[in-house]
Structures are given as structure tokens and as C-alpha cells.
Structure 1
């Protein structure tokens, strides 16, 4: 009997690319045992001194167009919510309260990017939690253990070098973005993919022109 390779899937339900990647990971049998790990994208960006693509107006328009094209090309039903980006921390806490079960991740992603439901609305979030078998959603997501769980996930992701979502972690190797799925396949077929001389050399390149002047 074949054993599946463990992998962490770091995501925030605000990310349409995470929605797309999750769909493909659920559809395609890559031989992975995937553990969904909800993390707060804003905290990752703050830690690494980054901004999200939606914070640059022309990039935002290009990003949304690319996501819709990728969804159409891959046969994934996608409809952006009326407001995006949106505050996702409560949806993340809901996932933590539900132990980030795969069916809960399915439902939250579908609510946002297939049905356009507003998960910043407390009543809507309460309904969604009820659909997933969770009562007292408001109290549960406000509890210290749920908040601590999301914080711990995010801090652990940062410690592993995760800087954005979606990121798939297989051992110590990170694959950031929906467009890395073909690289994931090649890596699983050849675990020494990153051990070639040229791949190793990439980690030794000099950094020539820093954008930010040293203080």
C-alpha cells in the first residue's frame, strides 16, 4: 500500500489564488496527505514588509482578471464577492474552531468565491458556521483558544519562511502560488529536483541593488 507524502497547505480565504489551488489539490491526486493551515495573510505581509497585490490599483485589476481567466481555463466556477479584499480574520477563526477540516475549507472557499457570501457579516458567518455544525459561532470565534490557534499557525508559518498564500510546504520545501503545481508534480517525481548544481547556485547569488537604503 502506497503512503502519501505529508504537506501543509497555508492559506487565507481572502486569497482567490488559494481558492484555485485548493480546488486543484482536491481534484488532482498528487499523492499528498494535505493538512490545511489557516493563516492571517496580513500578518505575513507585515512581518516581511510586503503589500498585497490588491493594494496596488493597476495590479489589483490585473490580478482579478488573471484569477478569472485561470478559473475559466481550469473549469473552476469563480465569482468574486462584491467587496474584495475583505476582513477575513473572523472566517479564519471559524476555520480554526472547526479544526480546519477539509469540508469546512471547501465550504468557506465556496461561500466566498462561488457564492459571493459576505463573511464579514456576523449573521452570515453564524449561518455558515451552523451549516458546518458549529453552534454559538460568535462566542466560539471570540474565545482565547481559537484566537491563539490562529496566531500560533501564523507564527509557525513565518518561522518556516512562508511569506504569502497559498503556500504548499512539503518537508522544508515551499511552493508559493497556484502556478507552482507543475513544479510540485516534478518535485514529487524527483525529490532531488532542487539539489542540482544550478539550483544550489541560486541560493548563493549576490544581492546587487537594494531598493531600501540602509538606515
Structure 2
């Protein structure tokens, strides 16, 4: 059985769609999943990038595409009242619900509750009263104690730093063995790997990272 680490941020509609699609996409394969929330903005900052919602024409296209993808996949999705929003309260809530035996890795139930809070119904994902209601609904899942808030903040930082160290640059991203698969559209590729397709041991995978850089705008 292969273990998948699913890097996610609740701000990403692609992460939401991948989360919902994962069971169908990988049906018939043998795997387990650990869900690891990270701060997408931290990944972008590290790699010197803007997010899709920070570039006006790309923002419009992104929202249209995710609505189309949701439509074609049969996954309920309504854009929240505003986007992007500050995802820190949601990320920290998810980590506060992590079991002590697996810090930094909330259950699928917790992730599903938070993703659907954001991406179903069209309400404001950052609304204070809605956040309070969500936190109250997840109370049975949460760790208790005065030091919890500091521990949760440190865990989010650690998750994000560990992800960067492993080569994670965006969400959703799936890590299996020594391989990374990025994006909703990588689910068929991930499935192929889990099924043991020999291509993944061939020259195409190995040599893709050996292509020479012809020009770099960063050096100009």
C-alpha cells in the first residue's frame, strides 16, 4: 500500500476539487492518505510568485475554469462571497483538530468540513460568525489546553517549511515515495503511479529535470 501526503490550503478551489475527486480518481488502487495543511501564500513567497487570484485576467479565468470543472465533475461548488481571503483561521482550526498521534495532519472529516464551509453555499468564508459556528461544530475533534494556539501556529509554519524543503511549490500537491504530483489534473498521473505503470521508472521521468535552462528572467 502506498501512502499519499496531500498538501492543501482551503483557499484553493483546485485543492477543494481534488479533495472531492480523490476517492473516485483512485478507485481500485491501494493507498492511504495523510492531509497536510500548508500556507499557500508562504509557498508563493518562497518561490517569488503571485497567486492566480492576484493577476486580474488570470483571476477571472481561474474562477470560470473551476466552476466549469465542478460542473463537469458533478461536484457542488459556489464561489465564496469574496476571494482571496485570509485562510489562516481555517488552517489553524484544521491543525487544532489534528490527533496528538499525528500532529499537523487533520482527518478527512475535518478537511471536508472546512472545504465545504468555503466552497459550498456562496457565503463569506471569513465571516466571524460562520467561523465561530464551524469551530463549534468541530469542538469534539479539537485539542484542548492553553498552549494550543501557539502549538497550532508553530505546526502550520513547520508544515509549510517542511513542504518547501520537499520541493512543494503549490496546492494541491501529492507526495508519494520520492515523487510529487501537482494539481487536480495530475490525479490520472498519480493513479498511474499507484498502479505501477513502468513509465515512472523510465527515462522520461528521470530526464525531465535535466533540461538546460536557456534563459532566465531572474538573471536580467
Q: How far off its partner does 1:192 sit?
A: 4.1
Q: 1:19 maps to what in 2?
A: 16
Q: 1:7 maps to what in 2?
A: 4
Q: Distance in 2 between matches of 1:194 and 1:121?
A: 45
Q: Deviations over 1:2-47 (max 9, x none)?
A: xx31110000000000000000113442422010000000001001
Q: Distance in 1 between matches of 2:124 and 2:142?
A: 19
> Where does the alignment leave 5 or more consecutive residues of structure 1 unmatched?
none
Q: 1:174 maps to what in 2?
A: 180
- Kindly report which structure 2 residues correspond to 1:51-62, keeping only aligned pairs within 5 A, or say none: 51-62=50-61
Compared CA separation, residues 140 and 84, structure 1 to 2 (3 A): farther
- Kindly report which structure 2 residues correspond to 1:37-116, keeping only aligned pairs within 5 A, or say none: 37-99=36-98, 100-116=106-122
SS class of match (1:183): helix
> Where does the alignment leave 5 or more consecutive residues of structure 2 unmatched?
99-105
Q: Report whether the alignment pairs 1:36 with 2:35.
A: yes
Q: Distance in 1 between matches of 2:203 and 2:92?
A: 43
Maintained 8 Å contact 1:6/1:35: yes
Q: Deviations over 1:53-107 (max 9, x none)?
A: 1111111111111101111100001001010111001100000001111101011
Q: 2:131 aligns with which of 109, 118, 125?
A: 125
How many correspondences in the alignment? Answer: 210
Normalising by structure 2, we get a TM-score of 0.88
SS class of match (1:212): helix
Q: Distance in 2 between matches of 1:141 and 1:128?
A: 21
Q: How far off its partner does 1:117 sit?
A: 3.7
Instruction: Give every structure 1 segment of 4 or more consecutive aligned residues whose post-TM-superposition deviation is greater than 6 Å.
Output: 139-142
What RMSD over aligned residues (CA atoms) do the two structures have, in Å?
Answer: 2.1
Maintained 8 Å contact 1:44/1:163: yes
Normalising by structure 1, we get a TM-score of 0.90
